[in-house]
Copies of this chain bind each other. A is one copy, B any other.
């Protein structure tokens, strides 16, 4: 349901085409909301059918025509309603934890290898987020608050990556010298 709201959120900043929307996602929101290209276009079609946005075709020579989507009042209203609605409880899935949960048959050494894999991935994510933050942040909006919030989502990713690494390291040392497990 939320891809629609994201689409409305972007369109509320300025009219965009599906292609630009895809770019916007991948450069600013990919780390917390990956958007499939097909799903994006379908969502745009549906939003238009529902009267939340409308589109104008911009003809181009030697390039496929662009469809520029603009948000309509019902779209703005839907966006505002979503922003004001109570937060739904988190039900995210964590494939890594699932794997760890059942990893006992790998033995201690195997589990440690798993933790190390995960640690590398977390480090990689950290550097990705750092470079995203360092590179000229694409200014989606002129509003200072919007820019601040955009940056905050990056900070969130970094905070969680750090927490993940710390947790991994603690677990690893717990498994490496199992003295304290015997309580």
On A, residues with C-beta under 8 Å from B are: 2, 5-6, 9, 12, 28-29, 32-34, 79-80, 82-84, 86-108, 110-111, 114, 117-118, 121, 125, 141, 143-146, 148-150, 152-153, 155-156, 159-160, 162-164, 166-167, 170-171, 174-175, 181
* Cβ–Cβ contact A102 & B152, under 8 A: no
For the residues of A in contact with B, the DSSP-based class is helix
* Cβ–Cβ contact A163 & B174, under 8 A: no
Select which of B32, B117, B146 is within 8 A of A104 by beta carbon: B146
For the complex, give the distance between the alpha carbons of A108 and B159 in Å. 22
Which residue of B has the minimal Cβ distance to A8?
B102
- Known contacts A83-B103, A87-B117, A144-B181; 7 further A-B pairs (Cβ under 8 A): A32-B98, A32-B101, A80-B105, A87-B95, A87-B114, A104-B145, A160-B167
